[in-house]
Chains A and B, each alone.
Chain A
Amino acid sequence: MAVDLDKLQQLLLNKLRERFGDAIIDLTADRGELTLVVDRKPIVAVMTMLRDDPDFQFNFLSYLTAVDYLALGRTPRYDVVYQLYSIPKTHRLRVRAAVPEDDPTIDSVFPVWRTANFIEREAYDMFGILFQGHPDLRRILMPDDWEGHPLRKDFPLGGVKSFYFKRSSDPHAGEPKDLVPRIRVQESDI
Chain B
Amino acid sequence: MTKRVVEQTWSNLEAMTINMGPQHPSTHGVLRIVLELDGEVVTGIKPMVGYLHRAKEKHAEFKTYHQFIPYTDRMDYLSPMSNNTAYVMTVEKALGIEITPRCKYLRTLLCELARISSHLLWLGTGALELGAMTIFMWGFTEREKIYDIFEFISGARFTVSYMRVGGVCRADYPEWRRRVREFLDGFLPVIDEIEAMLNENEIFIQRLKHIGTVSGPDAISLGLTGASLRGSGIDWDIRKDTPYLAYEEVDWEVAVETAGDCLARYFVRMKEIRESHKICRQVLDLLERHADEPVNIDNPKIIFPPKDNVKKSMEDLIHHFLLASEGFKVPPAEVYHSIEAPKGELGFYLKTDGGPRAYRLGIRSPSFINLQGLESMCQGMLLADVVAIIASLDPVLGEVDR
Chain A residues whose C-beta falls within 8 Å of the C-beta of B234 in the assembled complex: 87
Q: Which of B6-14, B54-62, B145-153, B384-392 interfaces with chain A?
A: B54-62
The 0/1 profile, CB within 8 Å of A marked 1, for residues 78-98 of chain B is 000000000000000110100
Question: Least Cβ distance of B244 to chain A in Å?
Answer: 12
Question: Least Cβ distance of A98 to chain B in Å?
Answer: 14
Chain B residues whose C-beta falls within 8 Å of the C-beta of A179 in the assembled complex: none
Chain A residues whose C-beta falls within 8 Å of the C-beta of B349 in the assembled complex: 63, 65, 81, 83
Q: Which of A6-14, A54-62, A170-178 interfaces with chain B?
A: A54-62
* A145 at the binding interface (Cβ < 8 Å): no
Question: Which interface residue of B222, B223, B338, B359 has the most chain A CB atoms within 10 A?
Answer: B223
Question: Least Cβ distance of A109 to chain B in Å?
Answer: 11
* B163 at the binding interface (Cβ < 8 Å): no
Give the nearest-CB partner of A59 in chain B.
B220
The 0/1 profile, CB within 8 Å of B marked 1, for residues 105-141 of chain A is 0000000011101110010001000000000000111
Are A62's CB and B338's CB within 8 A?
Answer: yes
Are B50's CB and A142's CB within 8 A?
Answer: yes
Q: What's the Cα separation between A61 and B127 when bound, in Å?
A: 32
Are A83's CB and B336's CB within 8 A?
Answer: yes
Question: Least Cβ distance of A155 to chain B in Å?
Answer: 8
Are B50's CB and A189's CB within 8 A?
Answer: no
Q: Which of B108-116, B184-192, B193-201, B366-374 interfaces with chain A?
A: B366-374
Question: Least Cβ distance of A46 to chain B in Å?
Answer: 18
Are A118's CB and B371's CB within 8 A?
Answer: yes
Are B334's CB and A118's CB within 8 A?
Answer: no
Q: What's the Cα separation between A46 and B62 when bound, in Å?
A: 35
Give the nearest-CB partner of A87 in chain B.
B236
Are B221's CB and A63's CB within 8 A?
Answer: no
* B345 at the binding interface (Cβ < 8 Å): yes
Question: Least Cβ distance of B399 to chain A in Å?
Answer: 12
Are A118's CB and B368's CB within 8 A?
Answer: yes
Complex partner residue of A141 from B53, B338, B359, B371, CB under 8 angstroms: B53
Are A140's CB and B49's CB within 8 A?
Answer: yes
* B260 at the binding interface (Cβ < 8 Å): no
* A44 at the binding interface (Cβ < 8 Å): no
Chain B residues whose C-beta falls within 8 Å of the C-beta of A33 in the assembled complex: 334-336
* B271 at the binding interface (Cβ < 8 Å): no
Are A62's CB and B58's CB within 8 A?
Answer: no
Are A1's CB and B241's CB within 8 A?
Answer: yes
Question: Least Cβ distance of A111 to chain B in Å?
Answer: 10
A-B pair count, CB < 8 Å, reads 96
Q: What's the Cα separation between A65 and B94 when bound, in Å?
A: 18
* B19 at the binding interface (Cβ < 8 Å): no
* B329 at the binding interface (Cβ < 8 Å): no
* B362 at the binding interface (Cβ < 8 Å): yes
Are A72's CB and B401's CB within 8 A?
Answer: no
Are B347's CB and A31's CB within 8 A?
Answer: no
Are A90's CB and B58's CB within 8 A?
Answer: no
Q: What's the Cα separation between A140 and B362 when bound, in Å?
A: 16
Q: What's the Cα separation between A104 and B351 when bound, in Å?
A: 21
The 0/1 profile, CB within 8 Å of B marked 1, for residues 139-167 of chain A is 11111000000110000010000000000
The 0/1 profile, CB within 8 Å of A marked 1, for residues 22-65 of chain B is 00000000000000000000000000011001010111001000
Chain B residues whose C-beta falls within 8 Å of the C-beta of A31 in the assembled complex: 93-94, 96, 333, 335
Are B364's CB and A90's CB within 8 A?
Answer: no
* B360 at the binding interface (Cβ < 8 Å): yes
Chain B residues whose C-beta falls within 8 Å of the C-beta of A63 in the assembled complex: 336, 347, 349, 362, 364
Give the nearest-CB partner of A96 in chain B.
B334
Are B57's CB and A126's CB within 8 A?
Answer: yes
Question: Least Cβ distance of B363 to chain A in Å?
Answer: 9
Are A114's CB and B364's CB within 8 A?
Answer: no
Q: What's the Cα separation between A150 and B351 when bound, in Å?
A: 17
* A23 at the binding interface (Cβ < 8 Å): no
Are A61's CB and B334's CB within 8 A?
Answer: no
Q: Please list the residues of chain B having a beta carbon within 8 angstroms of any beta carbon in chain A.
A: 49-50, 53, 55, 57-59, 62, 93-94, 96, 220-223, 234, 236, 241-242, 333-336, 338, 345, 347, 349, 351, 353, 359-360, 362, 364, 368-369, 371-372, 401-402
Q: Please list the residues of chain A having a beta carbon within 8 angstroms of any beta carbon in chain B.
A: 1, 30-31, 33, 35, 59-63, 65, 67-68, 71-72, 81, 83, 87, 90, 92, 94, 113-115, 117-119, 122, 126, 139-143, 150-151, 157, 185, 189
23 CB-based A-B contacts, threshold 8 Å: A31-B333, A33-B335, A33-B336, A35-B334, A59-B220, A60-B220, A63-B336, A63-B364, A67-B360, A68-B360, A83-B347, A90-B242, A94-B334, A113-B221, A114-B221, A115-B369, A122-B368, A139-B50, A141-B53, A141-B401, A151-B57, A185-B62, A189-B62
Top 7 closest pairs, chain A to chain B, by CB: A115-B223, A65-B362, A63-B364, A141-B50, A141-B53, A90-B241, A114-B221
